[in-house]
Structure 1
Amino acid sequence: MSRLGPAQRRPLNRGGRGGFSSAQGTDQSSGTVHPTILKQARKSGVLNLSQRGLSSVPENVWTLQEDVPEEAKVVSMDNTEDKWWDTVELNKLILASNMLTCLGEGLGKLSALTVLDVHDNHLTSLPKAVGSLENLQKLDIGHNKLTELPPHIGFLANLKTLQAEHNQLTEICEDVCSAKQLEVMNVSNNKIKALPRYICLLSRLRNLNVSHNNLSHLPPDIGALDALRIFDGTHNQLISLPDEFGNLRKLEQLHLRHNRLEFLPILRHCESLKEILAGNNNIRGLTEEHLQHLRAVTCLDLRDNKLQKLPDEITLLAGLERLDLTNNDISNLPLALGTMTSLKAIILDGNPMRSIRRDIIMRGTNEIKKYLVSRMSDDEMEKQCEKAQPSSVGRIGGGDDVVSSHDLYQLKALDYSNKGVSVLPDEVVEAALEAGVKTLNLSKNSLGDLPTNLSVLGPKLTEMNLASNKLSQVHPNIAQFDKLLMLDLRNNQLSDLPSQLAFLTLLRELVLSCNRLKQVPEVVYSLANLENLFVNDNQICDVNVEGFIKLKKLATLDLQNNDIAQVPPELGNCTWIRSLSLSGNAFRNPRPAILAKGTLATLEYLRSRIVT
């Protein structure tokens, strides 16, 4: 769980969630809490004193269970409010976002606590009394100044969640491994150099976050964490993982970005692994031994490494959907990559590709795959088909409207392209809805607008291809497809886009090539997550630099073959653009010789022409 940094975490009004300001809730001079708050706490079992500027815990917090007012003990049939039989023991104490430097031993009096939240303070140590809280299930001590975890945490037999991120810890004591019910442990953003040898005792641990530390190795016993599903070791100094790491059968997410790995670990028994993030390492190669155990992986991030080649065995990753190879040394791709039907995204920016033309790469994943398949010989294609697992392919519909049930249910994709239809049949939409389709291809038809019956697919669709239709407008109900990551509208008759497109806040790729646009639609500049924008082959006359500066994640911008008469020098300030295409326009500067040098040279040239 992410939290605000020190400069952001305290608003001017330090009132707690209960609605009482510091002045109303606590008396700093007497060191007490207002009786009204205590009365509420006795009723609800929850005491929230967060954001009150406390430098110490008021004494009557520790004696909350003992100091019941005399009037509450008087039995009266006329007024039964606030009597002793209505009170409950305090089970949740929140002291977050104050200025506490210590907690008193009086904490031990609150033996019924299940949650203790003291994150975002100035604590340098914890009292021994913490170890007496036998009912405690969640302990949040993040964002403090702790240099060690006290051994008495090991006495917390019911502790399930330990959050100790953003402290100054250099180690985790072995005693913590005695908290055998622990399921979530977050010790990220510390200075930890090693994990406890007997970490294997935490047999129920599901989520372990050790990111942003100084780990150079992991103990072999980590392979015995049979319940572990998420391991985050991002931003450490790991050179390799122990062989035993491959025994984590329930592991689903493995985060290893920003380390010193020279190869992927061999994960022999990680049958549930879905996501490997290993970018920003020193990985030089992949072998069949590395890949053959990763058949369930859907996302493989190897960006910013030193890969020179992608082996043919990459096709062993039968479930792979996203492959990020950004900023490596790859010059060729295996042709068999084009036959991976589940693969939806191949990211190749920053590689010295020689076997595939740049314009093909710019068109996106589908075009890359088609090109690779077109280069395969009949024998190679036949061999690849033999490797593929056989599957029964059912049919939905009849005649020219046939739809593969295999694609619907296994690939979660509806391909209804090149049917010549102007209306999408309801039975096809219903079949797609039942199958939970995420990818939709309606290209090469005669659609004049977005089919209204598609709205039922909105909650799940991530990719929509409406290329090569007869769209002169896009219906405002496009806003219903707010999970879209890719939208292809090329080869239509569009002159603008509706403002409702702004609801597609997750959109990463937008293809508007070959339309009738005279400018980039204003709504495009509101798509903050946009990474790839193709507006080539239109009638665009100018470049809206102010708009493009808003798109901080934009990596690919294709403005080729338009009517641009002048390129503003300020476009050079968009240094985050990795691929800029401007050829085929009317401007004289930058000259073709500059453009031929690539994006970095073009942006640098433009910046040099800015008049200060």
Structure 2
Amino acid sequence: MSRLKRAAQMDSLAGFRAEKKEQAVPSGLLKAARKSGQLNLSDRGLTEVPQEVYRLNVDPPEDARQNVSFGASDRWWEQTDLTKLLLSSNQLTHLSDDIRLLPALVTLDLHDNKLSNLPSALGELQELQQLRLSNNQLRSLPVELCSLKKLSSLTLQQNLQESLPEELGQLLNLTQLDLSNNHLKLLPSSLGCLTRLQKLNLSNNQLSSLPDSLARLCDVKLLDCSKNQLTDVPAGLSEMSALEQLYLGHNKLRLLPKLLAPALKELYVGNNHIEQLQAEQLACLTAISLLELRDNKIKILPEQISLLSTLTRLDVANNDITTLPASVSLLPNLKVLLLEGNPLRGIRRDLLTKGTNELLTYLRGRIKDEGPTAMTLPSQARVNVHSIKTLKLLEYSEKQVAHVPDELFDAAAGLTVTTVNFSKNQLTCTPPRLQEFLSSLSDINLAFNKLSCCSDLCKFLQLVHIDLRNNQLSDLPSDMKNLTKLSSIILSYNRFKSFPEVLYHVVSLETVLLGNNQVDKVDPQRLMKLVRLSTLDLSNNDLLSIAPELGLCTSLRSLSLEGNPFRAPRAAIVARGTDAVLEYLRSRIPT
């Protein structure tokens, strides 16, 4: 080809044009991040963090270099510091020390990458509160990371961690720590210094023991130690006074731990080597609702199982149980009993397939009357004095009557009663003779009645649980603030048009169920004062809007808002669960 032809095909202006470099991050995203303080670069195939991200708040934008005039809405020098950086689901193999150029970061999400180490410069991000590192290839943590005084959530699951620095105990503001699915064989004793922890996940490691210092974690509600190599657990776990859920399944335990944890509601000890249940261990489970003992080697269920009056689900499947004590039928709240895989004798196989209710009815029929332990009332209902004496339970439910017979109270005279169940009747007021148990009654169930007032309950100062669902209540008495031990109250299916005023003053509350009413407003500023409130059900009400400040109620672990006519948050966000809703609400708070 001649020189003239080649010249004709060449771009005569090539020397005057600046070479365009394709940006890994679109300039529009960076521009938006300067305004919002948030940058989402998840799932973009990045192998490294682009330099312009690190220097987002340091260098002027490209527009400024080209002397473009800026309007009031585009003044880059009035930018917002980057507080949230999402880099998850990329191909990152390392993180540069330049991360220190983003000192205002509050949230840094690096989960689902290929990181094998972290820079010590992470320790300079002193505003950091959330650090997500799960699904990487990390074998160790830089000691400098332990200087992040404001860090509240650290997720490290699905890595290659074999040990943790002793300095981990310096993260005094941690409320959530997830170390699951690693290769940990030991835990630092300083773990006990993390006294603000509420969730601790240690599952799927190689732990053969737990440090005694765990006893100091008095705010932990969920502890997951499943799928390890534990042969026992430290007695100090009994001092974890807030512990509600304990997972010990798939270990090497030979005995059911003796746990005095007063708030423990769910205990999972399946897939261990337990052969025997001892009465003293069962007696400690005073608040237990779910007990999972499946896939062990248990031969006998002791009669004392009937002492677990709060138990709703008992799973003893795949054990070596040959006989079932009839006292199981005395459990007042038992709804699910799982027995498959046991060599049971004396119970027809077809009976086991008919479900829990049929089985419990059959077992009750096997209990022989013992003279004065049973008596017949005019309504032909039975009073089981054995139940009153052993379970401290006074029950008269599903009778559809307007009054509770005096004979029932006569049978309990002089005895201690802690639990009353008068549900599914036609009561229009609280039975007057309930006051005979003022000093002992802690749990009362008056659900499915016709109550329009419950002022008498304010006299029962020991009450911990109240169930008033399916009544005709539209308000609660102001004296209910005197119930300083009240932990849960169920008010679903009533006639409330707003969040009951008095409940804002009951600081001991952990559970409030207000679903299926007509509630149209709730005050998040006052809710924040209920520092123990972990479960709030406001589903199927008339809420037209949700105040963003509700996201600051950090104690909430379960928030139900579905079935309300508000537009934001969208249904898709509500469906993702409590954490997603709270995070969305926080992001909407004006700064």
Provide the TM-score with structure 1 as the length reference: 0.61
Q: Give the equivalent residue in structure 1 for 2:523.
A: none
Summarize deviations over 1:358-379 as a string: whole Å, max 9, x none.
2222221112212222111222
**Cα offset, 1:393, TM superposition:** 6.2
Summarize deviations over 1:238-280 as a string: whole Å, max 9, x none.
1110111111110000011111111111112x00000001111
Distance 1:258 1:34, change over 3 A: same
Q: Give the equivalent residue in structure 2 for 1:387.
A: 390
The whole-number CA distance in structure 1 between the counterparts of 2:282 and 2:87 is 48
The answer as to whether partners of 2:180 and 2:201 remain within 8 angstroms in 1 is yes
Alignment of structure 1 residues 46-195 onto 2, 5 Å: 46-69=38-61, 79-84=71-76, 86-195=78-187
Q: Does 1:237 align with 2:229?
A: yes
Summarize deviations over 1:42-68 as a string: whole Å, max 9, x none.
001001111111111101111110112
The whole-number CA distance in structure 2 between the counterparts of 1:287 and 1:80 is 74
Q: Does 1:398 align with 2:402?
A: yes
Provide the secondary structure at the position in 1 that maps to 2:359: helix
Summarize deviations over 1:179-202 as a string: whole Å, max 9, x none.
110010111111111111121110
The answer as to whether partners of 1:72 and 1:83 remain within 8 angstroms in 2 is no
Q: Give the equivalent residue in structure 2 for 1:293.
A: 284
Distance 1:97 1:237, change over 3 A: same
Summarize deviations over 1:423-477 as a string: whole Å, max 9, x none.
xxxx967669982369xxxxxxxxxxxxxxx9999x989xxxxxxxxxxxxxxxx
Alignment of structure 1 residues 261-272 onto 2, 5 Å: 261-268=253-260, 270-272=261-263
Q: Give the equivalent residue in structure 1 for 2:305.
A: 314
The whole-number CA distance in structure 2 between the counterparts of 1:29 and 1:266 is 66
Q: Which moved more, 1:344-353 or 1:333-342?
A: 333-342
Q: Give the equivalent residue in structure 2 for 1:414.
A: 424
Provide the TM-score with structure 2 as the length reference: 0.63
The answer as to whether partners of 2:313 and 2:337 remain within 8 angstroms in 1 is yes
Q: Match of 1:398, as an amino acid?
A: A
Identity of aligned residues (%): 37
Provide the secondary structure at the position in 2 that maps to 1:346: strand
Q: Give the equivalent residue in structure 1 for 2:30.
A: 38
The whole-number CA distance in structure 2 between the counterparts of 1:141 and 1:361 is 47
Q: Give the equivalent residue in structure 2 for 1:280.
A: 271
The whole-number CA distance in structure 1 between the counterparts of 2:55 and 2:70 is 29
Provide the secondary structure at the position in 1 that maps to 2:267: strand
Q: Give the equivalent residue in structure 2 for 1:11.
A: none
The whole-number CA distance in structure 2 between the counterparts of 1:28 and 1:130 is 33
The whole-number CA distance in structure 2 between the counterparts of 1:62 and 1:77 is 25
The whole-number CA distance in structure 2 between the counterparts of 1:410 and 1:243 is 33
Summarize deviations over 1:552-590 as a string: whole Å, max 9, x none.
xxxxxxxxxxxxxxxxxxxxxxxxxxxxxxxxxxxxxxx
Q: Does 1:351 align with 2:354?
A: no
The whole-number CA distance in structure 1 between the counterparts of 2:184 and 2:20 is 37
The answer as to whether partners of 2:395 and 2:420 remain within 8 angstroms in 1 is no
The answer as to whether partners of 1:336 and 1:384 remain within 8 angstroms in 2 is no
Q: Match of 2:345, as an amino acid?
A: R
Summarize deviations over 1:153-193 as a string: whole Å, max 9, x none.
21100000001110111112211111110010111111111
Summarize deviations over 1:116-154 as a string: whole Å, max 9, x none.
001100000000111110000000010000011221121
Distance 1:174 1:431, change over 3 A: same
The whole-number CA distance in structure 1 between the counterparts of 2:198 and 2:323 is 39
Q: Give the equivalent residue in structure 2 for 1:202.
A: 194
Q: Give the equivalent residue in structure 1 for 2:243.
A: 251
The answer as to whether partners of 1:413 and 1:437 remain within 8 angstroms in 2 is no
**Cα offset, 1:32, TM superposition:** 4.7
**Cα offset, 1:390, TM superposition:** 5.1
Provide the secondary structure at the position in 2 that maps to 1:222: helix
Summarize deviations over 1:378-409 as a string: whole Å, max 9, x none.
227644432231548699753899xx9xxxx9
Gaps of 5+ in 1: 1-26, 417-426, 439-453, 462-481, 484-612
Q: Match of 2:81, as an amino acid?
A: E
Q: Give the equivalent residue in structure 1 for 2:468.
A: 435
Alignment of structure 1 residues 180-579 onto 2, 5 Å: 180-268=172-260, 270-379=261-370, 382-389=385-392, 391=394, 397-398=401-402, 414=424, 435-436=468-469
The answer as to whether partners of 1:262 and 1:282 remain within 8 angstroms in 2 is yes
Provide the secondary structure at the position in 1 that maps to 2:328: helix
The answer as to whether partners of 1:294 and 1:316 remain within 8 angstroms in 2 is no
Q: Match of 2:113, as an amino acid?
A: N
Q: Match of 1:300, as an amino acid?
A: L
The whole-number CA distance in structure 1 between the counterparts of 2:401 and 2:65 is 76
The whole-number CA distance in structure 2 between the counterparts of 1:98 and 1:360 is 55
The whole-number CA distance in structure 1 between the counterparts of 2:118 and 2:300 is 52
Provide the secondary structure at the position in 2 that maps to 1:329: coil
Q: Match of 1:274, as an amino acid?
A: K
Provide the secondary structure at the position in 2 that maps to 1:162: strand
The whole-number CA distance in structure 2 between the counterparts of 1:130 and 1:385 is 61
The whole-number CA distance in structure 2 between the counterparts of 1:398 and 1:28 is 84
Q: Over the residues paired in the alignment, what is the CA RMSD in angstroms?
A: 3.8
